[in-house]
């Protein structure tokens, strides 16, 4: 039988599904394999295009990995492996960093689910050997063999037992407009945040129905939910707190009451829990709650999905398509692992060995490493104050573009301790075969640019805009993290010299852009890593800056874009010292009236929402002015806004939720030498039995007296009388002064609760 459908998922049935056949360690069962047993391959879920049925198929997918090392040790490993159900061979393979082929012992396992355990065992018995292709997600192996990716349109040939004998992919992840897949979505969420209060109901929504099920009594809840799941049979279960509360809770109820709840579509396995964890990345501690993964159906928890708020399901599907990682995995992964997966896929397809990703323990940097500390991006000190006729010009995806344009990849950079722009002869670099990283990046860069072009052509009201935006945004994150991965010592394809080469090119590029601007008579106000602020008298239109854009492209050979022309832009001074500019504290209004701001209070995650609201209202007021000359006329209105806000605060008219500070815990509570306000709030929660891990957020109010804070998620409601109004007033004035500072307002004075703005100290 042949049919066409969309590929939803590829996985190995989990270990333990048929345990008597999986343990190869003690007594080696002679492995024969039973034709027709899905365990001996990968399970594939397809959405049949003809009748919309969801089918679980299976396909043989032998898994191959390699070991390299001294010949005697490899012979020993050969002998060791003979008691396992594997086939062994010797082969020559290509390693990324070496021109010489490498002799490896190739180990093939017929049963994908058994490979991780086998590899664990082998690597423990032979820790001195080097391993390749040993720890790859199954979906990547499938993608490398067949060109598949989640939601790919596939034509399959299947026998009556559901075994796939041929598979052909009919589309590409690089298509701009993939046909919509008729997925069924069911959303499931508790009526309140379960960490703040005890939920009483679950809200269930499908495309055309909505139910409100009471959590008590349990029996009808489970029976109804079961009926809804069976009737609707969703492909995607979209939940709120489903990972951290709802699904574990429901599964526990189902277990306790012995009432089955078919959250999985694949009846051969049970949902799998992934432990919560805390790790260090992006210069901070990150907490990832526990996860519940389903089989035959995706579960995505909007509160536990990375960047879900940025790009939603559309972005998650896009990430899955281009990375070939399963939908459930990409939803919770950082984009760093997405780009890493793409590099592995490139390597797999081209027969380049993928090094095993050992969990290396953190070691302190040596003095030498500290000395060579990467110089990073070029940052200037802006000209403090308010400016007119300014355009912001940004390089488009600067670092990835540099990698692609100048062919910077771990295996192409020279082994130079301090690479600078001059060290590289661009033509020589480009004459080398295109490196693995640029090869991986090229189609991503092209697709992102195509998406943005498409977006620019669509009118604002167009219904497809949001999907394009989400997808462009997902691509942006892949590109951004790609650069970081080059310099990350634990990355499989990372190399610090490549990282430094990229930043060196970046600095040189920006300097060339600055020279171009100055040569053409523009005044350069500021430079920041990949952006430039230039000024020219009376320049108000795109055409006034087009010659400069063209010149920059000619001189740097990298794409630039006009981010916008400002009606006015203000670069703020340091709060510590008003004479010192800071590189990333500014705001301005573009000619279309839209605001751009960086570094001020509203951009900070820990600023209370009410303060953000007032500051944005003040900025909005400034955005109403059509020119820089009208800005002083806004002062009275700003004063009114501020006085109103002060009065609201004094009279208790500000909802408490608006005063919440949210901060992240950076360590365990007993590790604080000086407990921060966040730590003191967390201690209150701890006392109430709610333990927070490092990386989790604490929400708290600032209160009078000791300990000065009051955690939000405590059982009883906070007392409004204890709010530290004076503290919030200081926060408010601080945020307000950021806005009015460029207008020459040097101080904000308050008399018996009313405030007025003093210009130039008067």
Partner DNA sequence: TACAGTCGGGG
Partner DNA sequence: GTGTACGACTGTA
Token pair listed for 221: 């809840």
Residue 272 touching DNA (CB under 7 A) = no
Q: Are 605 and 660 in contact (CB under 8 A)?
A: no
Half-sphere exposure of 178 (CA within 13 A, CB side): 25
Tell me which residues in 530-549 interact with DNA (CB under 7 A).
530-531
Residue 442: partners with Cβ closer than 8 Å, 6 or more residues away: 404, 434
Mapping DSSP to helix (H, G, I), strand (E, B) and coil, where does residue 319 land? helix
Number of residues that bind DNA (CB under 7 A): 72
Least spacing, CB of residue 660 vs DNA, in Å: 12
Residue 187 touching DNA (CB under 7 A) = no
For DNA, the closer CB: 330 or 641: 330
Residue 212 touching DNA (CB under 7 A) = no
For DNA, the closer CB: 405 or 476: 476
Residue 14 touching DNA (CB under 7 A) = no
If 0-12 CB within 10 Å is exposed, 13-18 middle and 19+ buried, where does residue 583 land?
A: middle
Mapping DSSP to helix (H, G, I), strand (E, B) and coil, where does residue 365 land? coil
Q: Are 264 and 296 in contact (CB under 8 A)?
A: yes
Residue 574 touching DNA (CB under 7 A) = yes
Tell me which residues in 105-144 interact with DNA (CB under 7 A).
135
Binder to DNA among 214, 219, 282, 749 (CB under 7 A)? 282
Residue 373 touching DNA (CB under 7 A) = yes
Residue 688: partners with Cβ closer than 8 Å, 6 or more residues away: 711, 714, 715
In the block, residue with structure tokens 């490993």: 77
111 to 139, 459, 498: CA distances (angstroms): 14, 51, 38
Tell me which residues in 437-466 interact with DNA (CB under 7 A).
none
Binder to DNA among 101, 376, 715, 753 (CB under 7 A)? 376
Least spacing, CB of residue 747 vs DNA, in Å: 15
Among candidate residues 626, 632, 631, the one with its CA nearest the CA of residue 591: 626
Question: Edge-to-edge, what's the strand order for the sheet holding 101-109?
Answer: 86-94, 101-109, 63-68, 130-132
Residue 582 touching DNA (CB under 7 A) = yes
Tell me which residues in 489-528 interact with DNA (CB under 7 A).
489-490
Tell me which residues in 302-331 interact with DNA (CB under 7 A).
310
Radius of gyration (C-alpha) of the chain in whole angstroms: 29
Q: Let me know the angle formed at the C-alpha of 284 by 281 and 286, rounded to the nearest 5 degrees.
A: 70
Residue 683 touching DNA (CB under 7 A) = no
For DNA, the closer CB: 112 or 199: 112
Residue 487 touching DNA (CB under 7 A) = yes
Residue 677 touching DNA (CB under 7 A) = yes
Token pair listed for 264: 């999985």
Token pair listed for 548: 């400069």
Residue 402 touching DNA (CB under 7 A) = no
For DNA, the closer CB: 189 or 392: 392
Binder to DNA among 676, 686, 713, 758 (CB under 7 A)? 676
Region from 221-229, 400-408, 537-545, 571-579 binding DNA, contact rule CB under 7 A: 571-579
Residue 480 touching DNA (CB under 7 A) = yes
Residue 691 touching DNA (CB under 7 A) = no
For DNA, the closer CB: 179 or 272: 272
Binder to DNA among 295, 308, 483, 505 (CB under 7 A)? 483
Cα–Cα dist 563/569, whole Å: 13
Tell me which residues in 75-104 interact with DNA (CB under 7 A).
none
Least spacing, CB of residue 96 vs DNA, in Å: 17
Residue 594 touching DNA (CB under 7 A) = no
Cα–Cα dist 415/271, whole Å: 48
């Amino acid at each position: 039988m042949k049919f066409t459908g969309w590929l939803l998922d590829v996985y190995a049935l989990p270990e333990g599904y048929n345990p008597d056949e999986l343990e190869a360690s003690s007594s080696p069962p002679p492995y024969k394999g039973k034709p027709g047993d899905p365990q001996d391959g990968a399970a594939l879920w397809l959405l049949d295009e003809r009748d919309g049925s969801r089918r679980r198929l299976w396909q043989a997918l032998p898994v191959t990995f390699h070991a390299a090392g001294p010949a005697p040790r490899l012979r020993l490993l050969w002998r060791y492996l003979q008691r396992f159900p594997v086939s062994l061979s010797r082969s020559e393979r290509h390693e990324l960093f070496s021109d010489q082929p490498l002799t490896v012992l190739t180990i093939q396992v017929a049963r994908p689910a058994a490979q991780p355990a086998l590899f664990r065992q082998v690597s423990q018995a032979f820790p001195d050997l080097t391993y390749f292709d040993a720890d790859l997600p199954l979906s990547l192996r499938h993608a490398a063999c067949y060109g598949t990716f989640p939601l790919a349109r596939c034509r399959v040939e299947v026998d009556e037992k559901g075994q796939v004998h041929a598979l052909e992919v009919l589309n590409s992840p690089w298509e701009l407009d993939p046909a919509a897949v008729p997925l069924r979505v069911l959303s499931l969420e508790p009526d309140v945040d379960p960490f703040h209060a005890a939920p009483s109901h679950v809200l269930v929504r499908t495309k055309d129905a909505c139910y409100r099920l009471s959590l008590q009594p349990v029996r009808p809840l489970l029976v109804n939910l079961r009926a809804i799941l069976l009737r609707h049979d969703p492909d995607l279960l979209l939940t709120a707190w489903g990972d951290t509360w709802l699904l574990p809770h429901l599964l526990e109820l189902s277990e306790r009451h012995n009432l089955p709840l078919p959250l999985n579509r694949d009846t051969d396995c049970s949902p799998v829990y992934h432990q919560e964890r805390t790790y260090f990345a992006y210069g901070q501690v990150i907490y990832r709650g526990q996860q519940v993964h389903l089989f035959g159906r995706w579960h995505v928890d909007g509160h536990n999905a990375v960047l879900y708020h940025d790009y939603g399901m559309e972005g998650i599907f896009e990430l899955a398509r281009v990375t070939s990682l399963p939908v459930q995995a990409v939803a919770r992964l950082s984009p760093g692992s997405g780009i890493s997966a793409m590099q592995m896929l490139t390597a797999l397809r081209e027969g380049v060995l993928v090094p095993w990703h050992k969990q290396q323990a953190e070691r302190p940097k040596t003095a030498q490493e500290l000395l060579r500390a990467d110089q990073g991006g070029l940052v200037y000190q802006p000209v403090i104050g308010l400016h007119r006729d300014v355009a912001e010009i940004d390089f488009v995806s600067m670092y990835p573009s540099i990698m692609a344009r100048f062919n910077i990849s771990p295996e192409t950079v020279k082994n130079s301790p301090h690479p600078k722009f001059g060290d590289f002869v661009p033509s020589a670099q480009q004459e080398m075969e295109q490196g693995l990283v640029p090869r991986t990046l090229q189609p991503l860069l092209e697709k992102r640019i195509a998406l943005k072009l498409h977006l620019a052509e669509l009118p604002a009201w167009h219904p497809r805009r949001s999907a394009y935006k989400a997808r462009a945004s997902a691509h942006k994150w892949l590109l951004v993290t790609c650069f970081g991965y080059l310099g990350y010592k634990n990355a499989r394809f990372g190399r610090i010299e490549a990282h430094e080469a990229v930043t060196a090119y970046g600095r040189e590029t920006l300097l060339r852009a600055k020279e171009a601007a100055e040569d053409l008579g523009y005044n350069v106000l500021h430079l920041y890593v990949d952006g430039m602020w230039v000024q020219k008298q009376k320049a108000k239109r795109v055409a006034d800056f087009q010659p400069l854009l063209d010149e920059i492209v000619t001189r740097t050979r990298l794409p630039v874009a006009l981010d916008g022309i400002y009606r006015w832009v203000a670069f703020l001074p340091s709060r510590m010292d008003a004479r010192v500019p800071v590189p990333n504290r500014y705001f301005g209004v573009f000619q279309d009236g839209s605001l751009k701001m960086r570094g001020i209070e509203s951009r900070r995650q820990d600023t209370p929402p009410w303060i953000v609201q007032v500051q944005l209202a003040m900025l909005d007021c400034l955005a109403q002015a059509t020119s820089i000359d009208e800005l002083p006329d806004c002062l009275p209105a700003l004063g009114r806004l501020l006085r109103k806000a002060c009065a609201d605060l004094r009279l208790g008219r500000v909802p408490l939720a608006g005063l919440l500070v949210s901060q992240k815990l950076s360590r365990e509570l007993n590790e604080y030498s000086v407990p921060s306000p966040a730590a003191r709030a967390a201690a209150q929660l701890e006392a109430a039995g709610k333990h927070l891990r490092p990386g989790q957020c604490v929400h708290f109010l600032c209160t009078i007296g000791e300990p000065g804070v009051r955690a939000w998620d405590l059982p009883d409601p906070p007392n409004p009388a204890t709010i530290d109004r004076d503290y919030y007033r200081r926060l408010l004035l601080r945020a307000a002064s950021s806005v009015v500072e460029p207008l020459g307002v040097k101080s904000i004075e308050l008399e018996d609760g009313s405030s007025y703005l003093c210009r130039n100290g008067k």
